[in-house]
Amino acid sequence: MTFKELHIIEPILQALSAEGYTQPTPIQEQSIPILLRGKDLLGCAQTGTGKTAAFAIPILQNLYLHKLNNGNERKIKALVVTPTRELAIQINDSFKAYGKYTGLRSTVVFGGVKQGPQTDDLRRGIDILVATPGRLLDLMDQGYISLKDIKYSVLDEADRMLDMGFIHDIRKIIARLPKERQSLFFSATMPPDIVALSRQILGNPEKVSVTPMQTTAEKVEQAIYFVSKKDKPRLLLHLLKTEKIDSALIFSRTKYGADKIVKMLKKADILADAIHSNKSQGARQRALGNFKSGQVKILIATDIAARGIDVDELSHVINYDLPNIPETYVHRIGRTGRANASGIALSFCDGEERAYLKDIQKLIGQNISEITEQPYPDDGRFIPPKNNGHAYHTRQDSRSAKSDTSGGFNKRNHRQRSFSRRSR
């Protein structure tokens, strides 16, 4: 299947070719025909599946054909609402890239920065608006944005919207949209409250669900380190200094924890940046830009801030803190297993996080292999070494026995290969 076979028009095909895209991903292959027919869509897809192009391409095509028939009137006809600044910027960049030969204009509005440049873009006239909820409502209340001409509305990362407390803002936005429109709703997970929200937004939608959680998990080489909470900093330094890690996205559960990791690494002469919601927008964009360009190899992020981080050649994800929601683990590690590439995900698990690990392994349907030869094993599992030449041993209970046979990360294999990035 090619984009041409999906009946994509020549200006967009030309742009896709310039971006190096020839074959659609599964969600694009399934979604684009539905959207070109004008149907509402409920999509269950996680980051890294190509969902932005799945909705951006048909929206651009429909707007372009409408422009040919009705002239070039600059009114906002497509709205994409997304939870974070980084993701909003990324989506707007995608619209610009795919629509570069269509003559359509898009812009992005988000909080945390002065509104002047954003309102200047709005005054000049745009066809497509990408926005975070708070700034969108603010500019609507000020009279800079009208939604009365919207033909296409997209709610992206709906589960994260609810996690971040945007439900009331979303309902206000929905109430001000025209009833006659095509609606698209994307979420990585579909808990009951998300399903209920989708019913408020969508009419009788077509449904697309791609890339099951297990697929992403199976593509990524995974391992777990049992380590006490106090030894996590030392274990991280050990890995960064001894393993071949080209680039690493490190997840912290809290903003304070992310900043603490950066300070600890800098004391060890390891350059790192942090990205979280307490950082100014300028600082976040600089940190992300430096990471994407390779100037900084280590980026520490919280889950909310990490939405929108899209790095092609990311060799490692390190879960400094295990998430308490198992789906979040899959979202995290999927950042290093994009498309057909492989990646490596290393996780630290202290005593309080053992229950989280159990839930994660249940979700992904596999045991994550334990690294036993490491300098800071969890005290609860450590047996003092005997005089047999081996530095470290672990108690062979049922869990570690399963781990050592399921994924190949036993002591023998770990000595034979380090966690360097596979050739891609």
Read off the pLDDT of residues 144-163 as tens digits, 9 standing for 90 and up.
Answer: 999 999 999 999 988 888 87
Task: Render the burial of 208-238: b for 16+ CB within 10 Å, e for the rest.
Answer: bebbebeebbebbbbbbbbbbeebbbebbee
In the DSSP assignment, the letter for residue 119 is: H
What pLDDT sits at residue 308? Answer: 59
Q: Full-prediction pTM beyond 0.85?
A: no
Percent of the chain with pLDDT over 90: 50
* Separation of alpha carbons 253 and 350, rounded Å: 13
Domain 213-413 class in CATH? alpha beta
The dihedral built from the CA positions of residue 244, 249, 253 and 259, taken in this order, carries a sign that is: positive
In DSSP notation, 268-334 reads: TT--EEEE-TTS-HHHHHHHHHHHHHTS--EEEE-HHHHTT---TT--EEEESS--SSHHHHHHHHG
What are the pLDDT tens digits along the chain (424 aa)? 889 999 999 999 999 998 888 889 889 999 999 999 999 999 987 766 788 999 999 999 999 998 877 766 789 999 999 988 888 988 999 999 999 999 999 999 999 889 999 999 999 999 999 999 999 999 999 999 999 999 999 999 888 888 788 889 999 999 999 999 999 999 887 878 888 888 888 988 999 987 554 555 567 899 999 999 999 999 999 999 998 888 999 999 888 899 999 999 999 999 999 988 788 777 888 888 888 888 999 999 987 767 656 676 788 999 999 988 787 888 788 777 555 556 899 999 998 899 889 988 888 888 999 999 999 988 544 443 443 333 333 333 333 333 333 333 333 333 333 444 433 3
Sketch the domain layout of the chain as residue ranges.
4-209, 213-413
Give pLDDT, residue 101: 95
Computed over its alpha carbons, how large is the radius of gyration of the chain? 23
Instruction: Specify the CATH number for 4-209; select among 3.40.50.300, 2.70.70.10, 3.40.390.10, 3.30.950.10.
Output: 3.40.50.300
At 395 the pLDDT is 33
pLDDT tens, position by position, 96-142: 999 999 999 999 999 988 999 999 999 999 999 999 999 999 999 99
Contact 386, 365 (CB under 8 A): no
Chain-centroid distance of CA 321 in Å reads 17
Q: How far is Cα of residue 66 from the mean position of the Cα atoms in its chain?
A: 32
Decide if 4-209 and 213-413 have a common fold. Answer: yes
CB atoms < 10 A from the CB of 401, how many? 14
Where do the H-state alpha helices sit in 99-246? 116-124, 133-141, 158-163, 167-175, 192-201, 213-219, 232-242
- For residues 384 and 393, give the distance between their C-alpha atoms in angstroms, rounded to a whole number: 8
pLDDT, residue 417, reads 37
